[in-house]
Amino acid sequence: MKRWDQRPVEIRNLFNPAFCGLVLMRALCGYEEEDERGMPFSLTLLVLPLCLHKPSREILHAGSRSYLLKLVASHPELLVGFARRATDLLPFTFEAMGFLMHMGLFTVDVQGRLKTAPKGLRKSVTGTAETISCQRVARFLGKEFARVGDRSTLYMTMGVRP
C-alpha cells in the first residue's frame, strides 16, 4: 500500500478506510443478527467486492428479499470478474479492518470470529443514496452469510478459493 498522501485522490475518496470500515461493520452487524457468535474473518473478504461494485450491489439490493445462493444462481453476472475484484480489494479490506480494530469497534475470538463492540455503530443508516445502498447491501450480505453458515459453500458459490 502506498502512503495515504501518495495515493490518487480518486483512490482516497473511493476506498477511504473509514467508509470501507463502515460497510464492513454493517455486514458484521447483519451477521450477528442471525448468528451471535460473530462473522468468521474469511467472510469479511467477500463484502467489499460485492458492496462497492455498483452492478453487483444493484442486483443484491433488488433481490434483498431472496436468498443469496438463489440470487447468485439466477444472476451469474455477479461472478464475472469477482475473483479479480476480491483480490484487488484485499489491501483496502485489510486497511479498513485495521482502522476498525484501532478504533476498538470489534473483537476477535479464539476461533477467528469477529464480533462487534457494544455501541460501536449507530443503528441509523445515513449518507448519500449510494453510500446508503452500500450499507444496506452489506447488512443483507452479513445476514445471508450467517444463514448459509458454511464458509466453503460461500467461497465455492462465488468462484474463489479461501
pTM of this prediction? Answer: 0.91
Alpha helices, DSSP H, located in 15-128 = 17-34, 41-44, 47-51, 54-62, 68-74, 82-102
Strand order of the β-sheet with 113-116 is 39-40, 113-116, 106-108
Q: What is the pLDDT of residue 119?
A: 78
Per residue in 19-46, pLDDT (tens digit) is: 999 999 999 999 999 999 999 999 999 9
8 A C-beta contact, residue 151 and residue 40: yes
| Res 126: pLDDT | 82
| 117 secondary structure, DSSP code | P
pLDDT in tens, 49-90: 999 999 999 999 987 788 989 999 999 999 999 999 999 999
> Tell me, what DSSP letter sits at residue 118?
T
